């Protein structure tokens, strides 16, 4: 049965059977639900979803723990066969899954399709990675002894995912966990519950045994805390804010639970005087306003040297005026709403603070009140100049369509300003000077850097994670995706 397809109509009624525990779709055990609204039109109720108590998370953990021995006992190829079937489900449902993402998150339909495509590429890579021979053989100092290492699964892994990439991140986190023999309990973001159901539907329809993957919808206070604090959960992989991630790590430390935390960013794009300015402006606008500025790798600061600052700022403003704000379902839309009331109010508060602290508002900066956008969480794409490192806008994450332009004297000053924040996720430099490009790669204090490319660029074959307050633990994706989900086991075998 396809829960998503039965319940994804424009006027869907109550659909509280959104949890998936031990191989069954079910309601919250307490009967509680919450109502979700389309951020592009808050009069559009997308559905009613389980507001699950902690007991439901505990039941899912029990199911996952029970399923673990048999799932671990399968060959990697057999686990891959199940995951390939899930991949086929995703591929066949691109359109309805993308529409679900847009209706819950607000991003454009094109961006939602790109997210589905990215999830497919991530899944393909991690399945293949899981089938590779793992471990190494060493030459023992003792004659007649075979010495080697292997990777073994941890057990139950808690998967806590965000609303900005609600489908891709579930796939990115679950695939390496599952292919390496772990079982999972997923807590999707409450702002995108039906997208979590869509990902779960792919696993369920692939025929994965009951308990191997479970989904529990509910608050972080109830479901999230239950996952983090239960000693049966051997690892937590989390994407979200730095504040929540820090709290997860503190609680998980009490049970020595492994954590993988992908958190906030204040990502700089540095533009030097010798740069291709058109390419740099295109990259800045793309990464600042795609998904309404709600990528963790979004460009939130443009750091430009003084001698070209005025002309470059004019180029940014001209491009921003061409952006078309609207409902993500409209093919003409290039920037949709922000995802929810809390985000909407927080972004407007950041804008207000920036004005009060002396930043110069160049364009945007207001809620859009013209019908029909007045029914949604739409904010004009915004640019501030004359932003200094001491201002909140120069150092704190906004997570919305707001770009801060900071002017510096030279390359040395740019490096200092770029690194002068508590975050360290992504960065980019635009230049034609190879020496400065390589210095930037060495000296930029981030986990993901670029030269002459947008700050958001990533591919599945390399790890993804930040430093400082942007990330903690073994990073996601690439070869480290499976590394996080496994332990080293060493064997010494005397054969003569």
Least Cα distance to 181 among 77, 72, 70 occurs for: 72
The four Cα atoms 342, 347, 351, 356 give a dihedral, to 10 degrees, of 40
Say if CB 387 and CB 354 are below 8 A apart.
yes
Whether 469 is catalytic: no
Q: For residue 420, how many C-alpha atoms fall within 13 Å in the half-sphere facing its CB?
A: 17
Rounded to whole angstroms, the maximal C-alpha distance in the chain is: 83
The Cα–Cα gap between 264 and 237 comes to 15
Least Cα distance to 447 among 465, 459, 429 occurs for: 465
Q: What DSSP string describes 339-377?
A: SSHHHHHHHHHHHHHHHHTTPEEEE--SB--STTGGGS-
Helix (H) or strand (E) holding 305: strand 299-305
Least Cα distance to 344 among 295, 401, 262, 384 occurs for: 401
The alpha-carbon radius of gyration of the chain (Å, integer) is 23
Q: Residue length, the chain?
A: 496
- For residue 223, the 8-state DSSP code is I
Say if CB 216 and CB 223 are below 8 A apart.
yes
Do the bridges between strand 360-363 and strand 382-385 make them parallel or antiparallel, or are there none, so unpaired? antiparallel
The Cα–Cα gap between 66 and 87 comes to 25
Least Cα distance to 97 among 82, 111, 85 occurs for: 111
The Cα–Cα gap between 1 and 480 comes to 35
Tokens of 392: 């909140």
- Report angle CA 421, 425, 429 to the nearest 5 degrees: 85
Whether 104 is catalytic: no
Active-site residue, selected from the candidate residues 129, 262, 380, 483: 262
The Cα–Cα gap between 168 and 125 comes to 13
Q: How many helices (H) and strands (E) does the chain have?
A: 15, 22
Helix (H) or strand (E) holding 405: strand 402-408
Return phi, psi of residue 185, to 5°: -125, 120
Active-site residue, selected from the candidate residues 296, 469, 476, 483: 296
Q: So which residues are the catalytic ones? A: 262, 296
């Amino acid at each position: 049965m396809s829960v998503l397809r039965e319940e994804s109509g424009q006027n869907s009624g109550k659909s509280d059977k959104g949890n998936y525990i031990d191989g069954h779709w079910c309601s919250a055990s307490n009967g509680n639900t919450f109502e979700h609204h389309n951020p592009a039109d808050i009069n559009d109720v997308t559905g009613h979803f389980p507001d699950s108590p902690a007991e439901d998370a505990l039941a899912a953990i029990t199911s996952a723990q029970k399923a673990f021995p048999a799932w671990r006992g399968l060959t990697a190829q057999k686990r891959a066969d199940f995951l390939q079937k899930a991949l086929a489900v995703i591929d066949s449902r691109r359109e309805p899954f993308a529409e679900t993402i847009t209706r819950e998150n607000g991003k454009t339909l094109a961006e939602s399709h790109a997210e589905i495509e990215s999830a497919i590429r991530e899944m393909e890579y991690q399945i293949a990675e899981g089938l590779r021979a793992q471990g190494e053989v060493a030459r023992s100092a003792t004659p007649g002894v075979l010495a080697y290492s292997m990777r073994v699964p941890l057990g139950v892994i808690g998967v806590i995912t965000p609303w900005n990439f609600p489908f891709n991140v579930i796939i990115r986190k679950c695939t390496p966990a599952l292919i390496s023999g772990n079982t999972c309990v997923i807590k999707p973001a409450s702002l995108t519950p039906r997208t979590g159901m869509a990902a779960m539907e792919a696993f369920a329809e692939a025929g994965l045994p009951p308990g191997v993957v479970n989904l529990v919808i509910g608050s972080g206070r109830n479901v999230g805390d239950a996952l983090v604090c239960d000693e049966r959960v051997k690892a937590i992989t989390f994407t979200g804010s730095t504040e929540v991630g820090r709290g997860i790590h503190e609680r998980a430390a009490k049970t020595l639970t492994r954590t993988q935390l992908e958190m906030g960013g204040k990502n700089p794009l540095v533009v030097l005087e010798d740069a291709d300015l058109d390419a740099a402006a295109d990259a800045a606008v793309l990464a600042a306003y795609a998904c309404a500025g709600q990528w963790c790798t979004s460009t939130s600061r443009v750091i430009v040297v003084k001698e070209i600052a005025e002309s470059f700022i004019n180029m940014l403003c001209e491009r921003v005026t061409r952006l078309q704000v609207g409902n993500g379902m409209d093919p003409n839309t290039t920037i949709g709403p922000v995802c929810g009331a809390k985000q909407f109010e927080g972004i407007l508060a950041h804008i207000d603070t920036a004005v009060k602290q002396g930043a110069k508002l160049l364009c945007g900066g207001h809620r859009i009140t013209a019908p029909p956008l007045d029914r949604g969480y739409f904010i004009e794409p915004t640019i501030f100049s004359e932003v200094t490192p001491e201002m909140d806008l120069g150092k704190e994450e906004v997570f919305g369509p707001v770009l801060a332009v900071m002017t510096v004297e030279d390359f040395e000053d740019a490096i200092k300003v770029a690194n002068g924040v508590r975050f360290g996720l992504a960065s980019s430099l635009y230049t034609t000077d190879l020496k400065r490009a390589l210095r930037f790669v060495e000296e930029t204090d981030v986990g993901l850097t670029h030269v002459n490319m947008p700050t958001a660029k990533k591919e599945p074959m390399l790890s993804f994670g930040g430093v400082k307050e942007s990330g903690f633990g073994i990073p996601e994706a690439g070869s480290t995706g499976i590394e996080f989900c496994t332990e080293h086991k060493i064997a010494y075998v005397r054969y003569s």
